[in-house]
């Protein structure tokens, strides 16, 4: 079982910022020895989950089966999808649903707008909790001590010149999201992109997910997001929450 745990850790090391890994990188990200990381990577390659070019290991399409088992059976993404599609059609922008996992905002469902240029966000992608709109909304749903613990354990990384990395500033942003009922990430993840997120509250009032919309800063201003996007997101997040 220890070998299985190490193998799963290696699988999870592949993500938005780690589309390919060397043995050394896998060992560092999973906190295992290089020998253990190498054994896991070679086993996953033999099973068809990875390819290896002599230096880098990369996921194959077979890796999708692992996430597909969740997406095919999970209730939340299935219930959310019609609301994401309706919100996308109303806003003509991509709309997503994310949940909190170990300091990351993880996308579990998405309705993609039909545009030539995609944001690159996909189901299964992870965004850092400290600077993403979904992350701040999900953090806002946690107790204060949990937010403080998250900031104490992690080292917020700067993604752009606008990214908040000071713990006090992040805490204020989370508190603002909690008070306002929404969060906006204005070019903190990627220059030229803005995102807005609102919480999805279940019938007990607990934050179970975040619904978000992302758009190019050339197409939409922050004021327009508040005026035009917020009511649509709140409406569909509220409808989804009544089903949970």
Quote the pLDDT of residue 121: 67
Query: Do residues 86 and 237 lie in contact, with contact meaning Cβ atoms separated by under 8 Å?
Result: no
Quote the pLDDT of residue 236: 96
Quote the pLDDT of residue 1: 66
Token duo for residue 200: 């999805």
Query: Do residues 42 and 59 lie in contact, with contact meaning Cβ atoms separated by under 8 Å?
Result: no
Quote the pLDDT of residue 157: 86
Say how far apart CA 156 and CA 167 lie, in whole Å: 8
Quote the pLDDT of residue 117: 47
Beta-strand ranges (E) seen in 117-181 are 126-128
Nearest in space to 45 (alpha carbons), one of 35, 34, 56, 30: 56
Token duo for residue 114: 């039909």
Q: Each residue of 91-103: pLDDT tens digit? A: 999 999 999 988 8
C-alpha triplet 189, 193, 194: angle, nearest 5°: 90
Quote the pLDDT of residue 116: 43
Produce one character per residue of 131-160: b if its CB has 16 or more CB atoms within 10 Å, e if not: bbbbbbbbbbbbeeeebeebbeeeebeebe
Q: Each residue of 22-69: pLDDT tens digit? A: 889 888 888 888 888 888 888 888 888 888 888 888 888 777 666 665
Query: Do residues 78 and 72 lie in contact, with contact meaning Cβ atoms separated by under 8 Å?
Result: no
pLDDT lower than 50: segments of the chain: 116-117
């Amino acid at each position: 079982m220890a070998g299985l745990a190490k193998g799963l850790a290696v699988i999870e090391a592949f993500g938005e910022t780690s589309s390919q890994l060397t043995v050394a990188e896998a060992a560092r990200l999973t906190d295992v020895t290089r020998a253990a990381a190498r054994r896991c990577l070679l086993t996953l390659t033999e099973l068809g989950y990875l390819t290896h070019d002599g230096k880098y290991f990369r996921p194959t399409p077979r890796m999708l089966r692992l996430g597909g088992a969740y997406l095919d059976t999970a209730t939340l993404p299935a219930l959310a999808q019609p609301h994401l599609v309706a919100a996308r059609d109303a806003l003509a922008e991509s709309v997503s649903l994310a949940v909190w996992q170990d300091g990351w905002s993880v996308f579990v469902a998405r309705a993609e707008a039909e545009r030539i240029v995609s944001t690159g966000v996909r189901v299964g992608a992870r965004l850092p909790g400290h600077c993403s709109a979904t992350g701040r909304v999900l953090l806002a749903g946690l107790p204060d001590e949990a937010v403080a613990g998250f900031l104490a354990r992690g080292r917020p990384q700067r993604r752009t010149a606008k990214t908040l990395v000071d713990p006090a500033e992040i805490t204020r942003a989370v508190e603002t999201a909690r008070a306002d009922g929404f969060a906006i990430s204005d070019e903190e993840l990627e220059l030229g992109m803005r995102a807005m997120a609102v919480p999805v509250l279940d019938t007990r009032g607990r934050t179970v997910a975040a619904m978000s919309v992302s758009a190019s800063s050339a197409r939409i201003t922050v004021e327009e997001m508040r005026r035009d996007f917020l009511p649509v997101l709140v409406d569909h997040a509220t409808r989804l929450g009544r089903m949970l």
